Structure 1
Amino acid sequence: MKLSMIGLMLVSLLGTSHAQAQCEQLYNGVQTSDGSSAQISIGRVSLTSTHLQPVGSSLGSVLVSAANAPGLSGETVLWQCDQADRHQIYELFATNGADRVGGHWEIGAGAGTSANDGLPGYFATYFGYVSLKLTHLNSGKTFTRYWQESPISHYDVVGDKIQIKGKHLSMVQAELARVSALPPASGSGSDQCAGIAQGAGSSVAAYTCTVPNAYIQFKGPGIVSDRAGTDANTSRTFLGVRNGVAFGLRGGAFISYNAACAVRSVTPVVTFARISSQQLNTGQTSESDFSIELECNDFALNITTQSLYGIQVSPNAYEQAQKLGLVTGDGAVTYLLSTGYGSDPSIATGVGIRLRQNATGADMNFVGQAGAPVGAVGNRGAGGWYPIREGQLISATGTGASVYTQSITAILSALPGMRARAGKVDAVAIVRVRVQ
């Protein structure tokens, strides 16, 4: 009898082990397909001589959300799981490791070429001498050809289920940089967009290659996915079941040649005199001047060309500015916030930095992150971009280029409608130029 009872107990336990929770996919997944990727809308990229634009020069940066892929929104339910699965769900992410211009060649680190530019994480694109680096912001990891995973910790709870929506996947930061070589014509798993879109002279070429540059897929019980650590050149099981979202430069980038400007120098640190929260709350401010030197070739300074500069906030500062209503309708940011604002107790709150252009005496905005449109020619300040020619011409270099200096005042003040609270102010911004 004892043997019989033990046998029955084992059968019961084995029966229970098969009642495992499963996740399910609730959308059609066409967003993994060519032409249906979340668009990396980085705008126009300008290449000129390496005198103005040496290898490694930044060519643009933008934040991208999976929720922007065609057919998706932030509220689209992508996957649904039992609450018991909440510690077993992950994002897997990698470049499009199979394709020649989609993420196979880490061109910035010398893959496929004899020239190593010292730019790890930058992969060849359909634009000649232009490389792309992608960062998974939730984990801080750079996309590579090898699948990496990051736990999904944000989701909606509906009854006994958890729902992973478009808004719950990590934002992706895309950065372009100049490299010294083109990807080889052979050696990758695929080459769907043969050749390179290089353009010529002052012409503009669009990024017509629809092949994605990267993917995010879902890993959870019951969902077919690839394994972390495997090479996306050959490990692509997720595509067959349409599990995930692609990211691509398709239609979101353009390239032109000759017309370009570069940042030659900028005041590296702007220091404010100490000021109390009481003073700030009575409308007083602390001010400090700084300058930027910008060099443009003659073509870029043609009266019909829109050569612009802007001061761009960091992704973190942009997200905080959105929460506080400090982002304008055209994507500019009115106040620069400290790194760690709202999360670091040592950082002053209710306090931000605004700008004044000394040549015109007008207030300036910062460039944001979400595509930052520049508006029509002559629309000064759209998206946080300003004409370089508004500065003071200080020299002609003799190389077909001229140098302009921009004098700007940074103003530390209380944020509109908020009370300043004591703490430190420590903010970072990047000077960028673009030619329309």
Structure 2
Amino acid sequence: MIVKVLIGWLFLVSLFWASQVRASCEQVYNGVQASGGSSAQITVGRINLTSTHLQPVGSSLGSALVSAASAPGLSAETVLWQCDLKDKNQIFELFATNGADRVGGHWEIGDGAGTSVNDGLPGYFATYFGYVAIKLTHLSSGKTFTRYWQESPIRQFDVSGEKIQIKAKHLSMVQAELARVSTLPPASGSSSDQCAGIARELGSGVAAYTCMVPSAYVQFKGPGITSDQAGSDANTNRTFVGARNGVAFGLRSGASISYNAACTVRSVTPVVTFGRVTAQELNTGQTRESDFSIELECDDLALNTATAQSLFGIQVAPSAYEQAKKLGLVTSDGAVTYLLSTGYGSDSSIATGVGIRLRHNATGSAMNFVGESVTPVGLAGSRGAGGWYPIRDGDLISGTGTGASIYAQSITAILSALPGMRARSGKVDAMAIVRVRVQ
């Protein structure tokens, strides 16, 4: 009898000792970052859905990079887990979509899950915004999030004595990409539907992403830490949530959507070249001219002047805008009168006292450049305010019969000396971008 008791006691001691050896990692931070309201916010800002003619299925709607350290309560230096130094090769991130929820990561709608239509967009999952899907990429591994837990070794950590510390900054950045899809997620079939319905499928105004449900999770896998198994379905395998072992990622309050008519740039002359000219010729008032064209396509609703103001502008690079301000080439409403070369004033090979101005050939009027995209455009009907001009100033070249029309803008670029300055020889190498705006 004594022998049996002694063996049992030794057996219990052996179990206790083995448990202590295995439990070499510990969870240091015990917050609620695995819950929706404390998720790291995926901030893509305002997106707009317009006609499928201008914005076909698969069109990119926005993107964002997000760090686990941006979750409420965390910072880059927050220690989340701590392990023995000998366990450095046994620590992993596990990551998956919110596989349980209808608009959180259950339906891979871009690849036909839950619908009879396959858009050929693998990795894109339904969201709370109708006809908008999200694809998430774990940048450290390059892998796309799916409903099934995947693992990636953690290679970055801090060392403190005989311990390694895994901080929020050591978890992989996550890239989010939004794209248009052709269908809505099914109303049933997922194990969770916390945000019933859809934010809105159409209409005026702006709808916010009020759904708090996360789109994805990252959890920690290491000796002694409660986690799920790689390869298991996140629809049903979610033990990490109760253990508070991880960080959620969500679109909550980080996105909004509108359903407005829109315009797009269909084509633009990519390079505009000028004939050779001397500084002396420019200083005597001579110029060099070169024509280029832009084709802009708009929903017909966006061209209705009673309901919308559809404009285009040619925006200078930020460095050229800052230099133009120094030279007094910015108007009171923020437009830029002359486009300057990249490196103007800092690169000795660039011609100084020289700039490029514009003329719209259909109206015969001088044009300014847009300085900043946020420049106000003035009252409806104001031509040229802030460097913005009506798209209808151009020539109608196509009414496609699809509810959209194409207008061609013929513009002359004029190389000349800057007002009140003497031209000095060098090269002219400038760049600008065509933008459209509907309001």
Q: TM-score, normalised by structure 2?
A: 0.65
Identity %: 69
* CA separation of 1:243 and 1:375: change in aligned 2, threshold 3 A: farther
CA distance in 2, matches of 1:166, 1:310: 42
Alpha-carbon distance change, 292 to 31 in structure 1, aligned in 2, over 3 angstroms = farther
1:135 alignment partner, SS class:
strand
> Relative to 1, partners in 2 of residues 1:197 and 1:242: Cα closer, same or farther, differing over 3 Å?
same
Determine whether 1:176 maps to 2:178.
yes
Match of 2:30 in 1: 28
Question: 8 Å contact 1:263–1:292 — kept in the other structure?
Answer: yes
- Please say if residues 21 and 84 of structure 1, whose CA atoms lie closer than 8 Å, have aligned partners that are also in contact: no
Tell me how far apart the structure 1 counterparts of residues 52 and 206 of structure 2 sit (CA, whole Å): 19
> Which consecutive unaligned segments of at least 5 residues does structure 2 have?
1-12, 274-290, 316-341, 343-354, 359-366, 379-385, 414-432
Is residue 241 of structure 1 aligned with residue 229 of structure 2? Answer: no
Unpaired runs of 5+ residues, structure 1, are: 1-10, 273-288, 312-335, 337-355, 366-373, 380-385, 410-429
**Which residue of structure 2 aligns with residue 228 of structure 1?**
230
Contact 2:51 2:261 in 1 (8 A): no
Letter in 1 for 2:51: S
1:263-274 to structure 2, matched below 5 A, reads 263-265=265-267
Equivalent residue runs for 1:79-158 within 5 Å: 79-158=81-160
User: Equivalents in 2 of 1:242, 1:229: separation in Å?
Assistant: 20
Contact 2:301 2:308 in 1 (8 A): no
Q: CA deviation at 1:19?
A: 3.0
Please state how far the C-alpha of 1:262 moved relative to its aligned partner: 3.5
Distance of aligned partners of 1:36 and 1:53 in 2 relative to their CA distance in 1, 3 Å threshold: same
Is 1:67 paired with 2:69? yes
Q: In structure 1, what residue type is equivalent to 2:255? A: A
Aligned to 1:49: 51
Deviations 1:303-333 (A, max 9, x none): 977978999xxxxxxxxxxxxxxxxxxxxxx
For 1:405 and 1:24, locate their aligned partners in 2 and report how far apart those are by CA, in whole Å: 65
1:36 deviation in Å? 1.1
1:162-311 to structure 2, matched below 5 A, reads: 162-198=164-200, 200-265=202-267, 293-297=295-299, 300=302
Q: Distance in 2 between matches of 1:178 and 1:164?
A: 37
Preserved CA contact (<8 Å) 2:29 2:79: yes
Q: What does residue range 353-392 of structure 1 map to in structure 2 within 5 Å?
A: 377=376, 389=389
* Partner Cα distance (1:124, 1:74) in 2: 30
Distance 1:201 1:220, change over 3 A: same
User: Secondary structure of 1:19's match?
Assistant: helix
Q: Which amino acid aligns with 1:23?
A: C
| Kept in 2: contact 1:307–1:387 (CA 8 A) | no
* 8 Å contact from structure 1 (residues 29, 244) kept in 2: no
Query: What SS does the aligned partner of 1:103 have?
Result: helix
* Separation in 2, partners of 1:431, 1:87: 51
In structure 2, the residue corresponding to 1:108 is in which secondary structure? helix
CA deviation string 1:315-359 (max 9, x = no partner):
xxxxxxxxxxxxxxxxxxxxx9xxxxxxxxxxxxxxxxxxx9975
Name whichever of 204-213 and 17-26 sits farther off.
17-26
Q: Could you say which residue in structure 1 is the equivalent of 2:349?
A: none
Query: 1:394–1:36: structure 2 CA closer, same or farther, 3 Å change rule?
Result: farther
Q: Which amino acid aligns with 1:101?
A: V
Could you say if the C-alpha distance between residues 65 and 39 of structure 1 is closer, same or farther in structure 2, counting changes exceeding 3 Å? Answer: same
**How many angstroms does 1:292 deviate by?**
7.0
Q: Report the structure number with the largest CA radius of gyration.
A: 2
C-alpha displacement of 1:162: 1.5
What is the TM-score with the length of structure 1 in the denominator?
0.65
After superposition, the Cα gap between the structure-2 partners of 1:35 and 1:158, relative to the gap in structure 1 and judged at 3 Å, is same
How large is the Cα RMSD of the aligned pairs?
4.0
SS for the counterpart of 1:32 is coil
Inter-partner Cα distance in structure 2 for 1:118 and 1:152: 32
User: After alignment, is 95-104 or 84-93 more displaced?
Assistant: 84-93
Report the number of matched residues.
Answer: 331
Corresponding residue number in structure 1 for 2:320? none
Q: Say if 1:44 and 1:435, in contact at 8 Å, map to a contact too.
A: no
2:23·2:225 contact (CA, 8 Å) conserved in 1? no
Q: State whether structure 2 residue 75 is matched by structure 1 residue 77.
A: no
Separation in 1, partners of 2:148, 2:63: 23
Question: Per the alignment, in what secondary structure is the counterpart of residue 61 of structure 1?
Answer: strand
3-state DSSP of counterpart to 2:116: coil
1:126–1:197: 8 Å Cα contact kept in structure 2?
yes
Q: Which amino acid aligns with 1:105?
A: W
Which residue type is aligned with residue 104 of structure 1? H
| 8 A contact 1:96–1:103 mirrored in 2 | yes
